[in-house]
Chains A and B, each alone.
Chain A
Amino acid sequence: MSDSHASAVGHHAEENKFQIYVRIAMILAVITGVEIAVIGLPFHKWLLVSTLVILSAVKFMYVIFYFMHLRWDKVFCTVLFFIGLVIAGATMWALIKLFSVHDSIPLTISLNGVAQLAGLA
């Protein structure tokens, strides 16, 4: 196995992957830092929740599109994964909603708990 790597058609994008990966990792680390900082900020709750959700979605997308290579792969891989992701996400959302309607509140509930995380549902 030789270290020299014969470049075939369509391979040139790869030359600088190393740089890209390191840069992405740095971005991810920074976002994580921001997230941790955000929870201490004195803003309105829904703003913070949306910020956190968006930030982690951004991280998520960076990882799947760069580290996991989707960006350079056939779109079909993206479609395939998103079928699962979307159905799972929608199901989660529906479940959490279903449990949050008045009829579904369990009998054993501490009220402050509801208040605490109401922003989520």
Chain B
Amino acid sequence: MSSQAATATIDHHHDHTTSTGIPNKKLLMWAFLASDCMFFGSLISTHLIYRLHPPPGNPSPRDVFDIPLTSFSTFILLMSSLMMALAVNAIQKGNLRSMRFSLLTTIFFGSIFLGGQVYEFTNFVHEKHLTITNSILGTTFYTLTGTHGTHVAIGVLWLIMMYVRSFKPADTAAHPLWFFRNVLHVAVMLGLVLSAMFSVLALVHTLQAGGSLGAFASHNLPLVAAFVVALVAAVALAKPQGPVHFGEANAIDVESMGLYWHFVDIVWIVIFTAVYLLEYL
């Protein structure tokens, strides 16, 4: 891909270099998603089959699940999908700033979802005594939702890399250190997400245990400090540095990523209904 041709208009829905007019990357992504349907299909089937034929002594999901929390996560994931769609929309119009903002919100929502899942898992293990080994429900539930969570985590990683990628300078020769900056930026973003996530989780746990804000701060100082440092670094690194090698021509990259992200969302739509809600009838 040559550097962005600011002069020519880019048609985002028709690629004249391909036989069908569909961009290669989009086609690849759709074919991959078709494959992923089968992947999650097998996994969800496994869960449902064991739910339909639980061995005696299996805990009842109703006693374990926490519908308000899961509904919240579902809502968050939906919103992340919205932001993802807006990010694609923005970059297709060449609006880099708006795209970055949307990507950051998507990352933000994605991380909340992941944090919610971490919270849910720890809660289930410690409070509800449902572990991955002690019952078939635990086995299939954690494997299914964990695999979905892994997909979300990969998505967040991808989003971060795309976000950072949008800072690649147009003239790499003029910025000999751009690559190290790039790696650093990815690391900072990862650190930011992780420290934020665990800070919030720690905060929630402290509050639930009746602790105060002060107690939280004193017990989790390194974590909070890491968060602050990462935040400052992230803001600093996001400062514009001249023209970048990212633009409308990259819309297809963002769009493919978006397809993946939305797919992860619809898988959750299915899981939410089939795994959680149906248990309550």
Contact = CB atoms under 8 A, between A and B. Distances in A.
Interface of A: 1-3, 5-6, 8, 10-11, 14, 17-18, 21-22, 24-25, 28-29, 32, 35-36, 38-40, 45, 48-49, 52-53, 55-56, 59-60, 63-64, 66-69, 72-74, 76-77, 80-85, 87-89, 91-92, 95-96, 99-100, 105-106, 108-110, 113-114, 116-121
Interface residues of B, number: 71
Given A1-B6, A84-B37, A105-B53, A67 B255 contact: no
Contacts of B116: none
Contacts of B266: 59-60, 63-64
Contact of B82 (A25, A68, A105, A118): A25
Contacts of A6: 9
B54 interface: yes
A59 B262 CA distance: 12
A10 B13 CA distance: 9
B53 A113 contact: yes
B49 interface: yes
A105 B265 CA distance: 33
B54 A77 contact: no
Contact of A91 (B38, B52, B81, B259): B38
Contact of A88 (B27, B41, B92, B95): B41
Given A5-B94, A8-B11, A113-B52, A32 B74 contact: yes
B51 interface: yes
A59 B272 CA distance: 12
B137 to A, nearest CB: 10
B22 A108 contact: no
Interface of B: 4, 6, 9, 11, 13-14, 20-22, 26-27, 30-31, 33-38, 40-42, 44-45, 48-49, 51-58, 60, 67, 71, 74-75, 78-79, 81-82, 84-86, 88-89, 92-96, 247-248, 255, 258-259, 262-263, 265-266, 269-270, 272-273, 277-281
Contacts of A38: 277
A119 B54 CA distance: 15
B37 A85 contact: yes
Contact of A110 (B55, B248, B258): B55
What are the nearest 8 A-B pairs in CB distance? A84-B34, A88-B41, A25-B82, A113-B54, A88-B37, A110-B56, A56-B273, A84-B37
Contacts of A66: 85
B36 to A, nearest CB: 8
